[in-house]
Structure 1
Amino acid sequence: MTDQVRVERVTDPVDLGEGPHWSSNEGALYYVDIFNQNVHRYHPASSTHSRMHVEGGPVTLVVPCMGRKDSFVVSVGRDLAVVTWNDPTKDCVVTQYTTVASVDPTREGNRFNDGKCDDFGRLWAGTMGKTDVPENLRPDLGNLFLLGHDASISVMLAKVSISNGLAWSADHKTFYFIDTAAYKVEAFDCDFENAKISNRRTLYDYRKEGLYPHFPDGMTIDTDGLLWVASFGTGKIHCINPSTRQVEREVKLPASNLTSVCWGGPNLDQLFVTSTTKNLSKEQLMREPDAGAVFRITGLGARGRPSRDCEVNF
């Protein structure tokens, strides 16, 4: 870690910030406040912030639609939907949207959680049961899904408890995934073209490494193939080397409960971090007034690959 690393708060706090996505086309960061059903847009160059409220259910992910101006794929409960934000620089309320896929029909308590597009523009998104934290768990009720270009939906991984953190190696041969309730960062062999994963294995076990009861949440990858993981409860981002299966670096932030990370900025060398006020007592909130904000980390000497928009026909 160098003395040049800087952590700064860049947005006001929300209740449960999640799902950051950097739009290189707009130079803007999108993220969600899950249970308030809001999609947020932060534009650093103009220091502006706007919000889209989506009626209908928890909103856990947001990804722009490729080739469709002001259109976004969002989750609404157990549905994946396309919404239109006519002017993303201004606040709005959305009451109508196009549902492109619905999942887990027999599990009404389920909802989508984390989701991200691969380099083909296919959306990988997972569900979870109605639960708070791994200790208050209804296990194995979720699945990891793939939304294809034709809006078809398929199960990539069954019996997931809390679907989180997704990333792919630059050569597309490895898929990284976090089931938060397993307290592990895991890897799979990936047949990328045919969208198949196999050979599940553990890269980093929070229990064995002494981080329990804290757990891994959102995750991203840099151009050197290192994984950057938001470690909920630790107030730290951990940089894990998949080759050595060890933490190479860590960055401390002024909020305990960090939820997700993504690369952004003009050179994709800024790490944006979402956080939450969830599970914090009144005393903790007084000590952590920035909890729930988005943070920007600069000076890391690392950078990411561009986030991919969603390519789906509906």
Structure 2
Amino acid sequence: MASQPKIELVVNSRCILGESPVWDERTGTLYFVDINSKRLHAFVLATGQQYGLDFYEKVGTIAPTTDKSKLLAALSRDVVIVDLDKRLVGPAVATVPESHGVEEMRFNDGKASPAGVFVVGRMHNKWRDNNPGRLYAMRLQSIPESSTFQELLTPEEVVLPNGMAWDTQRSLMYFVDTGLSTITAYKTDGEGVPVRNSDGKHDSRVVVTIPKEEGIPDGMTIAADGNLWVALADGGAVACYDANSGKQLHKVQLPVKRPTACTFGGPGLKQLFVTTREEPGNNPSEHWGGVFSVEVEGVKGAAAAYAVKLPVQ
């Protein structure tokens, strides 16, 4: 009989909207953001050291770079470089056009593909009213101002872009559309970016549609065995799905109601770090907004890639 999952509060961060956990094994640091508080958090697992950095607007997601002292951060329309050593937010290296929406729009989840492309979604704050989002690929060029966005999913193709992960063969990108409650697998090019066929359509398949009573899928990561781990927002749990069949393999209930995203980290990538958010109303969980560690026997994460390359300054 398998042992029960080990669940532990690792950061009592009280995030209003905790998101985008990123583990950097080079420094043993877990990074995550509080979107609504416009703040980046850093937590050094071995020592318990914590520090933060405030932004001038909401920060939707972060991604590691090949320089361990720098991150990319996606804000409302801009992607900026964050210097962790100097605790500075740098200038924008890319900006989406105004025609793609300004009011009520911001970047949401995003990650670096295995080949170094920053794949990032942008959402409408009123997505529940069927206002759609977009998904982009951003390639950093030698001159920052030349960095551009390639639109991967148009407003006709995505509602709320969210968690993503790549298979170990780098041929598929798994993608959460929270608005549709789906996880979809997209065939990708050599850079891990979804491609279109000659008819203009993606080669894709829906892996699973998650029932509303389970919660809505939010942030996602992939395990070494190729299975997908997803935070079930409003479901109070993280769940694991077979990437081929869509069958639910594990479900771990958490001591909070609103988990948001997850990533593997810690020694041997055996800890699933889960961010959470505030719980308005009656009877909020004791540690809402904190970051939890979940350990499931026999489960570990796929090796992380620090593939986003910084432009030459």
TM-score, scaled to structure 1: 0.89
**Counterpart position of 1:305:** 302
Contact between 1:148 and 1:312, CA under 8 Å: does it hold in 2?
Answer: no
1:102 equivalent to 2:99? Answer no
Amino acid aligned to 1:74: A
Contact between 2:37 and 2:58, CA under 8 Å: does it hold in 1?
Answer: yes
Matches within 5 A, 1:46-57: 46-55=47-56, 57=57
Amino acid aligned to 2:153: L
The CA deviation string for residues 206-254 of structure 1, in whole angstroms up to 9 with x for no partner, is 23xx536x21000000111100000111111110002221101111101
Tell me, in whole angstroms, the C-alpha distance in 1 between the residues paired with 2:280 and 2:72: 34
Tell me, in whole angstroms, the C-alpha distance in 1 between the residues paired with 2:54 and 2:2: 40
**Counterpart position of 1:168:** 166
**Counterpart position of 1:275:** 276
Matches within 5 A, 1:85-164: 85-86=84-85, 94=88, 97-106=90-99, 107-109=101-103, 110-131=105-126, 136-140=128-132, 142-150=133-141, 151-159=147-155, 160-164=158-162
Tell me, in whole angstroms, the C-alpha distance in 2 between the residues paired with 1:117 and 1:241: 23
1:204 equivalent to 2:214? Answer no
Matches within 5 A, 1:165-244: 165-193=163-191, 195-197=193-195, 198-207=202-211, 211=213, 214-244=215-245
**Counterpart position of 2:199:** none
**By how many angstroms is 1:44 displaced?**
1.2
Contact between 2:171 and 2:192, CA under 8 Å: does it hold in 1?
Answer: no
Amino acid aligned to 1:232: A
**Counterpart position of 2:70:** 71
Contact between 2:114 and 2:192, CA under 8 Å: does it hold in 1?
Answer: no
Matches within 5 A, 1:244-255: 244-255=245-256
1:263 equivalent to 2:264? Answer yes
The CA deviation string for residues 85-105 of structure 1, in whole angstroms up to 9 with x for no partner, is 225xxxx5x4x5220111141
* Cα pair distance change 1:171/1:255, threshold 3 Å: same
Between 20-29 and 185-194, the greater mean CA deviation after superposition:
185-194
**By how many angstroms is 1:172 displaced?**
1.1
Root-mean-square deviation (CA), in Å?
1.8
Amino acid aligned to 2:121: G
**By how many angstroms is 1:4 displaced?**
4.6
Tell me, in whole angstroms, the C-alpha distance in 2 between the residues paired with 1:245 and 1:104: 36
1:8 equivalent to 2:8? Answer yes
Contact between 1:122 and 1:312, CA under 8 Å: does it hold in 2?
Answer: no
TM-score, scaled to structure 2: 0.89
Q: Give the gaps of 5 or more residues in structure 1.
A: none
**Counterpart position of 2:18:** 17
**Counterpart position of 2:288:** 291
**By how many angstroms is 1:200 displaced?**
2.4
Contact between 2:173 and 2:187, CA under 8 Å: does it hold in 1?
Answer: yes
Provide the secondary structure at the position in 2 that maps to 1:211. Answer: helix
Tell me, in whole angstroms, the C-alpha distance in 1 between the residues paired with 2:125 and 2:97: 13
Q: Give the gaps of 5 or more residues in structure 2.
A: 142-146, 196-201
1:42 equivalent to 2:46? Answer no
**By how many angstroms is 1:161 displaced?**
2.0
Tell me, in whole angstroms, the C-alpha distance in 1 between the residues paired with 2:283 and 2:111: 31
Between 36-45 and 4-13, the greater mean CA deviation after superposition:
4-13
**Counterpart position of 2:198:** none
**By how many angstroms is 1:149 displaced?**
3.5
Tell me, in whole angstroms, the C-alpha distance in 2 between the residues paired with 1:121 and 1:4: 37
